[in-house]
Amino acid sequence: MKKDYIQEPARKTRVLARTDVLVVGSGPSGLAAAIAAAREGVDTMLVERYGCFGGNITQAMVESIGWYRHNKTVESQGIGLEFEAETLKFGGERREPQSISQVVEADIFKCVADQMVEKAGITKFLHCLGVEALTEGNRVIGVVTESKEGRRAILAKRVIDCTGDADIAFRAGVACTHPPKSELEGVSVSFGCSGVNRDLFLAHVQKNSGNLSQWARETTGKEDKLFSPYLSEPFDRARQNGEIPEDVLTGGYWSSLTDTGEATYMNMVYMLGLDPTDLKDLTHGEIQGRKQAMAAIAALRKYTPGFEKARLRTFGSSLGTRESRKIVGRYTITGDEVRNQAVFEDSIGIFPEFLDSYGVVIIPTTGRYFQVPYSIMVPKSMDNLLVAGRCVSGDKMSHAALRQMMCCSVTGQGAGVAAAVSVKRKISTQNLSIKAVQNALKKQGVRIE
């Protein structure tokens, strides 16, 4: 019988760098973690597998970081808000259509993130994939990376896993939950269009204004009449006419429109049953997603006033993923806690009661919010490793809030400050005094209560 593995020879791996805090992955969580750690005055390094920082914002063009925000929303404070403010300064002003927020456009945010990383004095490596955790007993001491240079080690006093998929924690042997593919949220190929007749399209939207109740399966009722830029009609018609297969879930949101007729972020392709950690699924998702996006554009051209002359402008540079592995942390936050204004002694930030996943949509129009605990970022059995972003420890329904980009920046900033305080006080991440972390967070302008 043929063996399904090979034995690689043992080898020496060159040390690429040494640092106090190493952050792997640069989405909203990783950027916030690295910036927060650097602001505490420790040596900080950020590695990212692709050619730009920003994660889903820049790679999947998810520009709607604040689409939940209404007048009474009590907002997290911290680096997430700086992402928006810095984008505005960069000339990226454009209103998100269903909220009182501005979008954070992908390409502009690439430059904003570059600037924020450089200003914070972070050592950075793009095109650098974290592939293994280096451990000694039950503590992490660094990460092995792969790049065009080959295999290299980065030694770090503290590591923060912000890979979205808990790659580093998983490879360190941390227990993770990983729902079967059939239960995971869908993956998407995002696209943008040029050649949109903005006035015609917006007039059409005004006449046929949709609301959240048309696509949400569960709300609290107060959401139902809120305007939603969700489009289904062109795709329903295309399906009826056999132009889009029955089982393809095309339908979704437009976001912002430029004065020159560009729809910069169209989130209209949603593919179920694919696992973001499975190579075949990723490959299939990218290719199938592009086909579905082209069919969506054809349907928009045919059935949507204002889109008659629209054409493909951009694809996200990577498939957008929403859910995969999550660590089992010292504490696991639940959907009930998110929905019942939970308070925690080890709070590292707050996040409004905003849930959006699995057909459940709760919009924070009333000022309700919950506290985010430190212990969901601390793996049960591994020291000097923290995890932030969408793969923190939580049950299925809490994911609907914790995966949101602003919340990812809350856990990122919390983890960055905690890692830095842990280095400065020479106390491991498991034994850290939460009061010291909270005081440092408050000094960084974070609201923790």
Residues near ligand FAD (CB under 6 A): 24-30, 47-50, 55-56, 59-60, 62, 64-65, 67, 129-130, 162-164, 167, 188, 190, 267, 320-322, 389-390, 403-405, 408
CB of 412 to ligand FAD, least distance (A): 7
Measured CA to CA, the distance from residue 189 to residue 179 in angstroms comes to 22
| Residue (200 or 282) nearer to ligand FAD, CB | 282
List Cα–Cα distances, 388 to 18, 44, 158, in angstroms: 21, 16, 13
CB of 326 to ligand FAD, least distance (A): 10
Residues forming beta bridges with residue 15, ordered by sequence position = 153
| Residue (191 or 201) nearer to ligand FAD, CB | 191
| Residue (50 or 90) nearer to ligand FAD, CB | 50
Q: Which two tokens stand for residue 210?
A: 């949709």
DSSP annotation of 359: T
Per the listing, tokens 């709300």 go with 219
CB of 187 to ligand FAD, least distance (A): 7
> Is there a contact between 384 and 139 (Cβ–Cβ < 8 Å)?
yes
| Residue (22 or 310) nearer to ligand FAD, CB | 22
Q: Which amino acid is at 436?
A: A
| Residue (327 or 446) nearer to ligand FAD, CB | 327
List Cα–Cα distances, 116 to 33, 54, 123, 246, in angstroms: 12, 11, 12, 45
Per the listing, tokens 């989405």 go with 27
CB of 44 to ligand FAD, least distance (A): 15
CB of 50 to ligand FAD, least distance (A): 5
| Residue (64 or 438) nearer to ligand FAD, CB | 64
Following DSSP, what letter does each residue of 119-174 receive, concatenated? HTT-EEESS-EEEEEEEETTEEEEEEEEETTEEEEEEEEEEEE-SSS-HHHHHTT-
| Residue (4 or 216) nearer to ligand FAD, CB | 216
Which residues make Cβ contacts (< 8 Å) with residue 217, sequence separation at least 6?
358, 359, 360
| Residue (162 or 420) nearer to ligand FAD, CB | 162
CB of 126 to ligand FAD, least distance (A): 9
Cβ-count burial 200-227 (b if 16+ within 10 Å, e if not): ebeeebeeeebebeebbeebbeebeebe
CB of 430 to ligand FAD, least distance (A): 22
What's the distance, CA 277 to chain centroid? 16
Counting Cα atoms < 13 Å in the Cβ hemisphere of 337 gives: 20
CB of 267 to ligand FAD, least distance (A): 5
CB of 435 to ligand FAD, least distance (A): 27
Task: Please state whether beta strands 360-362 and 326-327 pair in parallel, antiparallel, or not at all (unpaired).
Answer: unpaired
| Residue (260 or 324) nearer to ligand FAD, CB | 324
User: SS3 of 206, please?
Assistant: helix
